[in-house]
């Protein structure tokens, strides 16, 4: 299975329940050129927020099968995660919107 990172954003709420999300991007992790067993996005991914601000995403599957994920803005960490499998997280980013990040695939 291909390792992918999917990013969605809140679209519609029904009362206090998030009812609909809108896909933003689906990124595929690729083999690193010089480190055997490492898969990553190639470079940090610049995610443009609704407010026009930009955050940087990083996701990698290490040779020891750990998944590392981070969100930064202006080189300041907003969120960091290290896990040994798939994940789904929801994060309010600086524009006040709820973003969802889902890693599927190799672990």
Q: How far is CA 8 from the centre of its chain?
A: 9
pLDDT digits (tens, 9 = 90+) for 37-78: 899 998 999 999 999 999 999 999 999 999 999 999 999 999
Residue 26 near residue 19 (C-beta atoms within 8 A)? no
> How much of the chain is helix, strand and coil, in % rounded to 5?
0, 65, 35
- Domain borders along the chain are 4-104
- pLDDT tens digits for range 3-47: 999 999 988 777 777 677 899 999 999 999 888 989 999 899 999
């Amino acid at each position: 299975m291909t390792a992918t990172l999917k990013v969605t954003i809140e679209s519609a709420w029904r009362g206090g329940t998030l009812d609909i999300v809108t896909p933003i991007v689906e990124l595929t992790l690729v083999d690193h050129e010089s480190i055997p067993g490492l898969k990553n996005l190639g470079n940090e991914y610049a995610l443009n927020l609704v407010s026009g601000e930009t955050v940087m995403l990083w996701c990698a599957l290490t040779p020891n099968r750990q998944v590392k994920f981070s969100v930064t803005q202006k080189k300041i960490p907003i969120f960091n995660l290290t896990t040994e499998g798939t994940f789904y997280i929801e994060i309010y980013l600086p524009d006040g919107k709820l973003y969802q990040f889902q890693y599927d695939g190799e672990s």
